[in-house]
């Protein structure tokens, strides 16, 4: 038996959404670089299509951290804690550009294969979809989840990640790492980020989590351009790479953020795209996401699940899941895979703190 449940939204998650970058979910005129103005606009244009947790204002993030203890426990979905039930936790935006019915069918088929294994104690597999990292964190703290699937940035920001252990990483084209790129037209005359001011940016969000946004903001902070979301006239998220790359190709947008993998695929379909577009900036090699197990599970249960997930790409239900998440297979996790993401987050936090201090000084 397989069930897919969505967690209720906790008070902490509500505050997160009030101060999050809603322009990743909707378009917004952001000519005013003041963080207070951005936050105010965010309250009016709360995103429904993307529950990304990327925080615009470092000062507001500090405020959230100060408030968090006062909100107490959130309201996570009711989770069965039984040895014959396998609980899998996801962040909601993992499914940003997926058809939920397709995901449901694929997960149900894979769950059935788990349950039908020889000597398997499982009678039920529950996929639990959480609206925010805060809600997922509560479930992890209560040790209710057996498997946790999340982005690299989200994992590194978990306060209680000592309760879980990374075990698997997605792999495509014989690599677990990928690059993000900012694409422009070769004939645009643009050589520097500063030349994109008040331009239109298209962003491929689907299932990428915070990482591409963190990289983008780090780029702009590093070059002294302030907050990327205030820099552009419009930032519009799209579901597929083609919907980001082609408008730049046809001069309908100034720049797009996509993965180098998706750009390579589009170039194979239409070589002219590769002839006329060029990467203005390229990110380090980064791990998109990872699969974690609850540490307190028995070694026997962990091994059984691990062996099954390593073979997912070998059977039709598993292949369908890999296809939905745009990966080829899962491979054993290595600590080295996370190093570049760690370094990026450290750089972002350092630059963000400096930027917040400058904003504070300018408002005195």
Judged by average pLDDT, the poorest of 73-82, 101-110, 162-171, 281-290 is 73-82
Q: Which of 31, 52, 54 is nearest to 41 (CA)?
A: 31
Whether the pLDDT of residue 24 is over 90: the answer is: no
pTM as predicted: 0.76
Alpha helices (runs of H) in 232-270, residue ranges in sequence order? 241-249, 260-269
Q: What is the secondary structure of 172-207 as a DSSP string?
A: BTTBSEE-EEEEEEGGG---SGGGGTT-EEEEE-TT
Q: Tell me the Ramachandran region of residue 224: left when phi exceeds 0, alpha when psi lies from -120 to 50, beta otherwise.
A: left
Tell me the mean pLDDT in the region 305-310: 89
Say what the alpha-carbon torsion angle 349, 350, 352, 357 is, to the nearest 10 degrees: 140
36: pLDDT strictly greater than 70? no
Alpha-carbon gap, residue 143 to 6, rounded angstroms: 18
- Cα separation, 311 vs 268, in Å, equals 29
- Indicate the pLDDT class of residue 316, thresholds 50, 70 and 90: confident
- Residue spans per domain, the chain: 177-286
* Strand duo 147-151 + 85-91: pairing: parallel
Question: Checking phi first, is residue 58 left (phi over 0); if not, alpha (psi -120 to 50) or beta?
Answer: alpha
197-239 pLDDT, tens per residue? Answer: 999 999 987 667 889 999 999 999 999 999 998 999 999 998 8
Reply yes or no on whether the pLDDT at 30 is more than 90.
no
What gap in Å lies between CA 341 and CA 99, rounded to an integer? 28
Residues in contact with 306: Cβ distance below 8 Å, sequence separation at least 6, in sequence order: 167, 168, 293
Which letter does DSSP use for residue 159 in this model?
T
Whether the Cβ atoms of residue 294 and residue 164 lie closer than 8 Å to each other: yes
143 Rama sector, left if φ>0, alpha if ψ -120 to 50, beta otherwise: left
Distance (Å, rounded) from C-alpha 157 to C-alpha 55?
12
Question: What are the structure tokens assigned to 115, written together?
Answer: 């349950």
Q: How confident is the model at residue 39 (pLDDT cuts 50, 70, 90)?
A: very low
Phi-psi region of 330 (alpha: psi -120 to 50; beta: other; left: phi over 0): beta
The answer to whether 330 touches 289, Cβ cutoff 8 Å, is no
The answer to whether the CB of 132 falls within 8 A of the CB of 91 is: yes
Phi-psi region of 200 (alpha: psi -120 to 50; beta: other; left: phi over 0): beta
Look up the CATH number of domain 177-286.
Answer: 3.40.190.10
Calpha distance 181→346 (Å, rounded): 20
| pLDDT level of residue 69 (50, 70, 90 thresholds) | very low
């Amino acid at each position: 038996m397989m069930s897919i449940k969505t967690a209720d939204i906790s008070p902490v998650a509500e505050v997160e959404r009030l101060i999050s970058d809603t322009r990743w979910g909707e378009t917004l005129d952001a000519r005013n670089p003041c963080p207070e103005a951005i936050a105010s606009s965010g309250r009016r244009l709360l995103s429904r299509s993307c529950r990304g947790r990327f925080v615009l204002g470092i000062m507001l993030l500090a405020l959230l951290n100060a408030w968090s203890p006062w909100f107490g426990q959130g309201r996570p979905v009711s989770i069965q804690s039984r040895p014959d039930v396998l609980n899998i936790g996801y962040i909601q935006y993992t499914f940003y550009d997926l058809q939920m019915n397709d995901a449901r069918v694929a997960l149900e088929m894979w769950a059935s294969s788990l349950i039908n294994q020889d000597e398997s104690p499982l009678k039920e597999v529950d996929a639990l979809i959480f609206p925010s990292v805060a809600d997922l964190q509560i479930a992890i703290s209560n040790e209710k989840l057996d498997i946790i699937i999340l982005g690299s940035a989200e994992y590194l920001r978990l306060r209680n990640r000592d309760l879980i252990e990374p075990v698997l990483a997605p792999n495509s084209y014989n690599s677990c790492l990928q690059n993000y790129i900012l694409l422009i037209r070769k004939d645009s005359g643009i050589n520097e980020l500063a030349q994109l001011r008040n331009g239109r940016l298209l962003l491929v969000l689907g299932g990428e989590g915070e990482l591409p946004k963190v990289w983008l903001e780090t780029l702009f902070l590093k070059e002294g351009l302030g907050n990327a979301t205030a820099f552009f006239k419009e930032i519009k998220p799209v579901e597929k790479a083609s919907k980001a790359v082609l408008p730049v190709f046809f001069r309908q947008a100034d720049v797009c953020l996509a993965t180098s993998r998706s750009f390579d695929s589009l170039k194979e379909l239409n070589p002219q795209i590769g002839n006329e577009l060029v990467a203005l900036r390229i990110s380090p090699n980064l791990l998109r996401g990872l699969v974690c197990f609850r540490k307190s599970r028995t070694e026997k249960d962990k091994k059984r699940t691990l062996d099954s997930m390593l073979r997912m790409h070998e059977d039709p239900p598993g292949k369908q899941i890999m296809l939905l998440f745009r990966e080829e297979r899962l491979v054993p996790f290595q600590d080295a895979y996370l190093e570049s993401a760690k370094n990026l987050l450290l750089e972002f936090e350092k630059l963000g703190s400096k930027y917040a201090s400058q904003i504070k000084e300018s408002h005195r």
